[in-house]
Amino acid sequence: MSKVSERQLERYPLYLNHLIALRDSGVTTISSPAIAKALKLSEEQVRKDLQVVTKSEGKPKLGRDINELIDDIKSFLGYTSKKSAAIVGVGHLGGALINYKGFEDFGLNIVCGFDIDSKVVGKSINNKEIYSIYQMANKVEELGIEIAILVVTSEVAQQVANMLVNAGIKAIWNFVPVHLNINSDVVVENINIASSLAILEHKLKTKEIDE
């Protein structure tokens, strides 16, 4: 499998989104230059990105079949292979995520939640059972959970991550604003909502001072 950079990977959901919107409005074929123009990217970049995911060459003037391209990007990103995932930490954000139905579009099937709080353990949210984190090892195997969506507090994030690694999880999607030390081949991808908000608020503050 050819190596692609993270910057490049970040663009595929943008392509996908744009192509689905076009298809839904009745478009059947699309060219790289048209995509480049709409998304404000260079034609060269779009052409290279698409070559990685699709074997379809596209016809001169007509471009590529839009449905084929959509399927190729989804398959490349792994959205077409269903994977079981669990929400680890069912607090404010975890509780919101366990209710979020959009994950299915990305091939993620949220099968359960884990928490340590006896007030939520044993209950169900959105038809997903909440198990104790001490049942993690059993449940990861029993339910075939591959991906953990980590939304615990900062204080316990490393400890819970270690438990997940020991339980045999394959990937951790980390929403906690801490650096996780994982000495294994478990995939870790960080999404830092707080950092994004910090950038927005700082830009806003700087602008107001400059005015």
55 binds a second copy (CB under 8 A): no
CB of 185 to a second copy, least distance (A): 7
| Among 27-35, 56-64, 73-81, 128-136, the segment contacting a second copy (CB under 8 A) | 73-81
SS (H, E, C) the chain: CCCCCHHHHHHHHHHHHHHHHHHHCCCCEECHHHHHHHHCCCHHHHHHHHHHHCCCCCECCCEEEHHHHHHHHHHHHCCCCCEEEEEECCCHHHHHHHCCHHHHHHCEEEEEEEECCCCCCCCEECCEEEEEHHHHHHHHHHHCEEEEEECCCHHHHHHHHHHHHHHCCCEEEECCCCCCCCCCCCEEEECCHHHHHHHHHHHHHHHHHHC
146 binds a second copy (CB under 8 A): yes
| Among 54-62, 70-78, 132-140, 159-167, the segment contacting a second copy (CB under 8 A) | 70-78
| Among 27-35, 116-124, 131-139, 195-203, the segment contacting a second copy (CB under 8 A) | 195-203
63 binds a second copy (CB under 8 A): no
202 binds a second copy (CB under 8 A): yes
Query: What is the footprint of a second copy within residues 159-178 (CB under 8 A)?
Result: 170-171, 173, 177-178
CA distances for 10 relative to 14, 33, 180, angstroms: 8, 19, 22
**Contact residue for a second copy among 88, 133, 147, 167 (CB under 8 A):** 147
Interface residues with a second copy (CB under 8 A) are 1, 4, 6, 9-14, 17-18, 20-21, 24, 39-40, 76-79, 81, 83, 92-93, 95-97, 99-102, 106-108, 146-147, 154-155, 170-171, 173, 177-179, 181, 185, 187, 189-207, 209-210
